Amino acid sequence: GGGPSSMGHMDHMDHMGGMSVADLTGPKTGTPDVNVTLVARKQKFQLASGETVDGYTVNGTSPGPLIRAKVGDLVQVTFVNESVKDGATLHWHGIDVPNAEDGVAGVTQDAVPVGGKHVYRFKAEQAGTYWYHSHQVSSDEVKGGLFGPIVIAPATPGEVIATIHTYDGKRTINGRTGAARVDLPAGTAARVRVINTDNAILRVGLLGTPYKVVAVDGHDVHGPTPVTAAYPLPAGGRVDLEAVVPARGMRLVAGASSLSLGIAPAGTDPPTGDLPGDTVDLLTYGTPAPLGFDPSKANRNFDYRIGRTAGFLDGKPGLWWTINGHMFPDVPMFMVAEGDVVRMKISNTSGQAHPMHLHGHHAVVLSRNGVPATGTPWWTDTLEVGNKETYEIAFVANNPGLWMDHCHNLPHASQGLMTHLMYE
């Protein structure tokens, strides 16, 4: 694929059988407000803290460069694969782009081969914290470093971005192991944008001052109140934490106290220690606000049962994940029509937790284990569903195409825990 006009939505439609031909690409005309080239490489590289890793980079580093846009911007990214043997793509995790821009190899495009390029164009519509990553052999390429942060919002003096990733067993924030720091004067209104690019849930939080959970997965929390409890950040999820920098400074802790980011006035030593044992629960945090649609008027109701069964995957025997009793690709798709109000009951009896990620849409959590949500509208694109838990979610089918819905513990996705949402 070359320029945006050769992005091949016809190819895409070929996969979609009887669906009428629709243009599911981003804007074809218009001068981009944000125009970047991202080059993927397989290489040995140095983490920001100096350790050498054999993995993948974007423009020579991992995490790759920050993409910053404002709401309304036309974003154009020219993606070049210099040396990633399996091919690579870029997926805009959490950004509800038009389907053909979603960057899913084998679904919305072919993987970009070594020496190839692909141009993505989409409008930044929802302010927030996101990330991009390869969606080809993701369990290997994301783990190895083929990702980076995206922020849709103007930069502020108090903004701190914290991309958390484990490379080869080395736990990092922004590519640094151990305790890193940024200097911010006391009294600064800090907004800490935390991105979990790993495969497991991570408790994060600020030590040294109460803070507010102000946004989750690119949606503002309504009526946030100060907390000191930790926030459980699912694999693939994002959370924005807000606090005023105290005179002694504060510290973002990611999981164990051995990984942290001090945010403090120059020359001060921010507090150290472990996160408290209690946990912020979005089911009750914040205050309700209108959803913009009525989930009780749902015209599609789906059961989404996550289980585990003995079977064969690619000819390999094992215990594989299932959705409604089936392994990908034998899972029936969830079919919707544009405009549908969709309710989904996700239950998990598989023995492990799964961070479930729906592409192209944000869903609101209605209940967990039968207990209705009473806090902020809990909009999410990446929802941790624990073993023996049941979530009811709802969303409006407002973004036509063929969308992935899978576990973001990425080895699980390649072990069967993956399906599609498809528009008829």
Number of residues near ligand C2O (by CB under 6 A)? 10
Q: 265 CB contacts (<8 Å, ≥6 apart)? A: 183, 184, 185, 186, 245, 247, 249
List b or e across 302-324, with b for residues whose CB sees 16 or more CB atoms inside 10 angstroms.
bebebbbeeeeeeeeeeebbbbe
Nearer to ligand C2O, 135 or 181 (CB): 135
Query: Does the protein bind ligand C2O through residue 135 (CB under 6 A)?
Result: yes
Query: Does the protein bind ligand C2O through residue 133 (CB under 6 A)?
Result: yes
Residue from 342, 236, 249, 251 nearest 296 by CA? 342
Backbone dihedral region for residue 145 (phi beyond 0: left; psi -120 to 50: alpha; all else: beta): left
Nearer to ligand C2O, 154 or 329 (CB): 329
Residues 347-366, one symbol each (x = binds Cu ion by CB under 5 A, - = not), give: -------x------------
Minimum Å gap between C-beta 351 and ligand C2O is 23
Task: Give the tokens for residue 258.
Answer: 């051995």
Minimum Å gap between C-beta 149 and ligand C2O is 13
Nearer to ligand C2O, 342 or 404 (CB): 404
| Among ligand C2O, Cu ion, none, partner that 404 touches (CB below 5 to 8 angstroms by kind) | ligand C2O
Residue from 331, 335, 346 nearest 299 by CA? 335
Residues 227-256, one symbol each (x = binds ligand C2O by CB under 6 A, - = not), give: ---------x--------------------
Among 359, 368, 412, 420, binds ligand C2O (CB under 6 A): 359
Cα–Cα distance for residue pair 90/233, rounded to 1 Å: 22
Query: Does the protein bind ligand C2O through residue 16 (CB under 6 A)?
Result: no
Query: Does the protein bind Cu ion through residue 412 (CB under 5 A)?
Result: yes
Half-sphere exposure of 86 (CA within 13 A, CB side): 17
Minimum Å gap between C-beta 35 and ligand C2O is 23
Q: Are 263 and 157 in contact (CB under 8 A)?
A: no
Cα–Cα distance for residue pair 19/161, rounded to 1 Å: 41
| Among Cu ion, ligand C2O, none, partner that 354 touches (CB below 5 to 8 angstroms by kind) | Cu ion
Query: Does the protein bind Cu ion through residue 99 (CB under 5 A)?
Result: no
From 3-11, 324-332, 389-397, 402-410, span contacting ligand C2O (CB under 6 A): 402-410
Among 9, 42, 91, 181, binds ligand C2O (CB under 6 A): 91
Among 343, 408, 412, 420, binds ligand C2O (CB under 6 A): 408
Query: Does the protein bind Cu ion through residue 404 (CB under 5 A)?
Result: no
From 23-31, 128-136, 182-190, 412-420, span contacting Cu ion (CB under 5 A): 412-420
Backbone dihedral region for residue 165 (phi beyond 0: left; psi -120 to 50: alpha; all else: beta): beta
Nearer to ligand C2O, 365 or 404 (CB): 404
Minimum Å gap between C-beta 277 and ligand C2O is 29
Query: Does the protein bind ligand C2O through residue 406 (CB under 6 A)?
Result: yes
Query: Does the protein bind ligand C2O through residue 143 (CB under 6 A)?
Result: no
Q: Which residues bind ligand C2O (CB under 6 A)?
A: 91, 93, 133, 135, 236, 357, 359, 404, 406, 408
Binding residues for Cu ion, rule: CB under 5 A, are 354, 407, 409, 412
